[in-house]
Structure 1
Amino acid sequence: MTPRAPLFLGIDIGSGSVKAVVATSAGRIIAQGSRPSSIRRPRPGFAEMDAGTDWWDPVVALCREVVPRAEGRLAGVAVSGIGPCVLPTDSAGAPLAPAILYGIDSRATDEVAELEERLGRGSILERCGTELGSQAAGAKLLWLRNRRPEIWRQTSMWFSCHSWIGFRLTGEWYLDHHTASQFDPLYDIRSQDWLREWCDEILPDARLPRLVWPADIVGTVTVRAARETTLPVGLPVIAGTVDAWAEAFSAGVRRPGDLMVMYGSTMFMVQVLPAPVSHPGLWTTSGVERESHTLAAGMSTSGSLTAWVRDLTSGADFPTLIEEAEATTPGSDGLLMLPYFAGERSPIHDPNARGTIIGLTLDHNRGHLFRAAYEGIGYAIRQVLDQVAQFVGPAARVVAVGGGTQGGLWTQIVSDIAGVEQIIPRVTIGASYGDALLAAIGTGSVPPATDWATEESIVRPRPENRASYDALYELFTSLYPKTVDVMHELARLQSEGGLARGAEPGPADPVSGRPSAPASAPPPRHRPHR
């Protein structure tokens, strides 16, 4: 009897959906599925997800859906997810609070300032490879310890998104090196290990998960997990990593000089490095492959901004909006948009930045507005790519991935603005496809150098648009420094006036126990425009 071919399950937990794919050892897709998930914003600056409802339940449903449709022998599973997240749990792994999300959650501003004062900004940059900001998950652990002591006292373990799913499948507590390297300032980027003296100083009462690499086997599916998911008992579980890095892996971004631009609800860029470096405006992290390093940048909005424009303009569908945007001239007839509608990570690192639309006239229509959103994101991408090029040299190869690559116009605008060619892979499923490849490599079913990525098309910049975009880019980069004080004052007013909409209350009154008047927002903290 001929043995059944091995198959590999990849699962990715995103901010808007959970996706699963089953693939062969050659990368051929056998089955796939998706389930919705959602972010909750209970107050300004907070971004959370429910680990049970938004992570585990969709994973269970997808396992039950896609695995029976795959005719073959399931040989391994890997999970990726949004990150870095902070999920505190008790000793049994039960969540004690909603998961605190990655850089779109900016609640730990005071803890960032506290850590910089205690440890020194320069020392943090040198040892961790990154300045602290809203992405720093170590600061969010300190936020829990400082602001939610009743939760912290019960916390026995803490997880990122995919590592908690791995725990539910195996009972093993671990964190992959890449995700750990975003728990600044707890991880040493050069020794690629926990920075134990800082861990002891910042979180003296905390335990640390064991460190593994994304393709390592961390355990096998338990009887209990098998009963819930229908996965086979004893199935090898591979560690996985943060979704953007799993997606880069799926797209073949694996050699020094390779750079991925991920078009999603947020925008993310990852470039593989030959060696670790430290840059104040970018994030140096451990990579996917053993002992590798990457340089990364992330923006707080992209696809979420285009969805906002769609909803604002009576919910026209995206094909209609793209058609109308294509009919407008490059530069949107003198309309500029700063895409800082949820604060901004790269390139300005300012959680109190706010979205700006300037140049509006009565002649502008929704096509102009939609194109201006694409262009505003494109200008910000160019800022990041310029930073990367100045620091480590221009990317040798740029690969574009994510749902935003499918319409054509967005990637063309970015190539026109930034002057770069972008390779579009044939398979753009994303991180779940990279997870399946990690499972195949991690189980030893294929060689470690196996790459499933193949080229579908190349988007080339159009020289006729370069001059006008260069001129508008200069105006775009001058706009934030000229408006930052107004942005911060508006952010303060939004925070102080937001209690009825769920802003964080002030300290409890010592007599009644009820929240007192809302506390003033912390002083805006931003870095100089680069």
Structure 2
Amino acid sequence: MDLVLGIDAGTAGIRAGLFDLSGQALGFYDQNYPTSYPRPGWAEQRPQEWWEALVAAIKGCMQASGADSSRIIGLAIDAPCNILLTDSEGTPLTNSLIWMDLRGAAQARTLTETHDPVLRYCGGDVPAEWPVPKALWLKQNEPLLWERATYLVEQMGWLTWRLTGAWAVPLNSAAAKWHYRATADSQNPAGWPEHMLRSVGLADLPERVPGQVLPMGAKAGELTATAAKELGLPPGIAVSMSGIDAHAGMIGINVLAPGSLALITGTSTCQLAQSAQPVIDHGLWGPFEDAVVPGEWTLEAGQASTGGTVRWLLDTLGGALPAGSERYAKADAQAAAVKPGAEGLTVLDFWQGSRTPIKDPTARGTIWGLTPAHGPGHLLRAVYEGTAYGNRHILEKLKELGVETQQIVACGGGTRSALWLQILADVAGVPITLTQVGDAVSLGSAICAAVGAGAFSDLRAAGQAMVHPGTSIEPNASVQEIYAEGYQRYTETYAALAPLFQRYR
């Protein structure tokens, strides 16, 4: 009869999901909050609006489910690495610099140019999206505010503090985005990357990050009476640590053992895999030790624009299509009428640069091979195929590094298109499995909540009990040759255009 809440704090808002311990979803509720863009490349949110959205989402979820709140034993919140400065009482002194804020691009280059040994665990370079470049920007550009502040915290840590009165640091994001080392190696001590931080004048950062570093599924505290009254929940329930949304999604589709790949689809796509050993390569993010499963390594790759490119195409050229979800169904019908290979069209899926295995922010989206015979259906199919070629490029890089993929488990918005899923499976030559709960991120946080509340011994045990396989899409052998040729065109196109991307960046 016990229930858990999985809270997904995303870029656009908060989604609360209520689950029983078999993984059945009882209700969801979404509450949005705004993002402001004060200058080009900047992106900010107000922490108080996170809290207001959290309260509304939990209340709405409970009302939608009709469940008795006394059955809830725990909750956990996943969130991106959005940072803010607070005083000693936790009161925000700044808006949050959210993950997509790129004001720290110069600071990211400075960190990369240290060539510190710890950077081997993030592919050798530091993205401007990550927290440490933003922290360095704040210290260099807002020195008085930096000195006035007591704490530098993430969204997840700040919301957990609002719920429990205790500070905690998610090991997941610390290992994946802050260069934190769970254990020492021959060149790097355990803990925060103090050598690199000292070299750029940021030696005081670790003392500003409050709380114990906790793994996913660890109990961070208990819901205070004050927070419980505002949320309409019983006081004293366990509040546990989750992680970055994509990593919570990995748990929510139970990709917690080597051999499977998590395909987290949305505006962008994230590919995640577990490894028993560290796999280090410039073309990957990671390996991140203990980020998801203790004693193992998480490998991460990504495509910057997948669903975002589809949305751009339909918004730009889909004027005759209906609005809403029907638009995607109608567009898919047109694309499905086009033969594999899109009659010679080739697309590079680099509308927002290339993340991995080619790390090229100057790369740009490309469509070539157009003739008067091509229509919107050809273009959409070519975009689907281009994103599938990008996914195959990542799989081949992993295979080259000794990381085999026997199965892909997918979740997210892209899974709503049966055509896209089939193309992804055909191009990869690997089956794609869906799970019964489509909202894998909320479920992943609910699994963390269940473990932290003591309902399961660890994440794998909880995943076995709460995640259930759904349909499986098998690759079609008859189109393998066509897609092999298309993939070759895709890789050759980038090789030919890379010098132009660099020249005209």
With structure 1 as the length reference, what TM-score do the two structures score?
0.84
Looking at structure 2, the residues matched to 49 and 480 of structure 1 have their Cα atoms a distance apart, in angstroms, of 36
2:97 maps to which of 89, 96, 100: 100
Looking at structure 1, the residues matched to 497 and 95 of structure 2 have their Cα atoms a distance apart, in angstroms, of 35
2:155 is the counterpart of 1:144: no
- For residues 57-72 of structure 1, what are the structure 2 equivalents within 5 Å? 57-68=52-63, 69-71=66-68, 72=70
2:158 is the counterpart of 1:160: no
Name the stretch that deviates more: 476-485 or 407-416: 476-485
Q: Which amino acid aligns with 1:78?
A: A
1:109 maps to which residue?
105
Looking at structure 2, the residues matched to 26 and 367 of structure 1 have their Cα atoms a distance apart, in angstroms, of 41
Flag the 1:161–1:304 CA change in 2: closer, same or farther, 3 A.
Answer: farther
Q: Which amino acid aligns with 2:215?
A: W
- For residues 479-498 of structure 1, what are the structure 2 equivalents within 5 Å? 479-488=493-502, 490-491=504-505
- Deviations for 1:223-269, whole angstroms, at most 9, x for unmatched residues? 33223322322221001111111111111111122210111121001
Looking at structure 2, the residues matched to 227 and 383 of structure 1 have their Cα atoms a distance apart, in angstroms, of 51
Q: Which amino acid aligns with 1:13?
A: A
Flag the 1:239–1:418 CA change in 2: closer, same or farther, 3 A.
Answer: same
- Deviations for 1:468-524, whole angstroms, at most 9, x for unmatched residues? 211121121122232234334554xxxxxxxxxxxxxxxxxxxxxxxxxxxxxxxxx
User: 1:135 Cα shift?
Assistant: 4.5
2:167 maps to which of 173, 195, 207: 173
Looking at structure 2, the residues matched to 298 and 38 of structure 1 have their Cα atoms a distance apart, in angstroms, of 26
- For residues 52-451 of structure 1, what are the structure 2 equivalents within 5 Å? 52-53=48-49, 55-68=50-63, 69-71=66-68, 72-81=70-79, 83-102=80-99, 104-118=100-114, 120=115, 123-126=117-120, 131-187=125-181, 193-202=191-200, 203-206=202-205, 207-209=208-210, 210-283=212-285, 284-285=287-288, 286-314=290-318, 316=321, 317-448=327-458, 449-450=461-462, 451=464
Looking at structure 2, the residues matched to 171 and 305 of structure 1 have their Cα atoms a distance apart, in angstroms, of 42
Name the stretch that deviates more: 171-180 or 408-417: 171-180
- Deviations for 1:276-331, whole angstroms, at most 9, x for unmatched residues? 23221112113323333210112221212211112112453111111111111212
Looking at structure 2, the residues matched to 489 and 147 of structure 1 have their Cα atoms a distance apart, in angstroms, of 31
Structure in which a larger fraction of residues adopt helix:
2
Q: Which amino acid aligns with 1:137?
A: P
Flag the 1:337–1:52 CA change in 2: closer, same or farther, 3 A.
Answer: farther
- Deviations for 1:55-92, whole angstroms, at most 9, x for unmatched residues? 323211111112352225111010112x2333333333
With structure 2 as the length reference, what TM-score do the two structures score?
0.88
Q: Where do 5+ consecutive residues of structure 1 fail to align?
A: 492-530
Looking at structure 2, the residues matched to 80 and 391 of structure 1 have their Cα atoms a distance apart, in angstroms, of 30
Looking at structure 1, the residues matched to 414 and 426 of structure 2 have their Cα atoms a distance apart, in angstroms, of 16
* 1:446 match: secondary structure: coil
Looking at structure 1, the residues matched to 365 and 25 of structure 2 have their Cα atoms a distance apart, in angstroms, of 40
1:463 maps to which of 445, 470, 477: 477
Looking at structure 1, the residues matched to 142 and 370 of structure 2 have their Cα atoms a distance apart, in angstroms, of 45
Looking at structure 2, the residues matched to 388 and 161 of structure 1 have their Cα atoms a distance apart, in angstroms, of 32
* 2:262 match: secondary structure: strand
1:36 maps to which residue?
32
Structure 1 vs Structure 2 CA RMSD: 2.4
* 1:194 match: secondary structure: coil
Looking at structure 2, the residues matched to 314 and 236 of structure 1 have their Cα atoms a distance apart, in angstroms, of 48
* 1:182 match: secondary structure: helix
Looking at structure 1, the residues matched to 423 and 121 of structure 2 have their Cα atoms a distance apart, in angstroms, of 37
Flag the 1:157–1:399 CA change in 2: closer, same or farther, 3 A.
Answer: same
- State the identity %: 30
Q: Which amino acid aligns with 1:74?
A: I
Name the stretch that deviates more: 464-473 or 200-209: 200-209
Q: Which amino acid aligns with 1:237?
A: V
Flag the 1:154–1:411 CA change in 2: closer, same or farther, 3 A.
Answer: farther
* 2:398 match: secondary structure: helix
Name the stretch that deviates more: 392-401 or 223-232: 223-232
User: 1:188 Cα shift?
Assistant: 5.8
Q: Where do 5+ consecutive residues of structure 2 fail to align?
A: 322-326
Count of aligned pairs: 482
Q: Does structure 2 retain, via aligned residues, the 8 Å contact 1:322–1:409?
A: yes
User: 1:144 Cα shift?
Assistant: 2.3
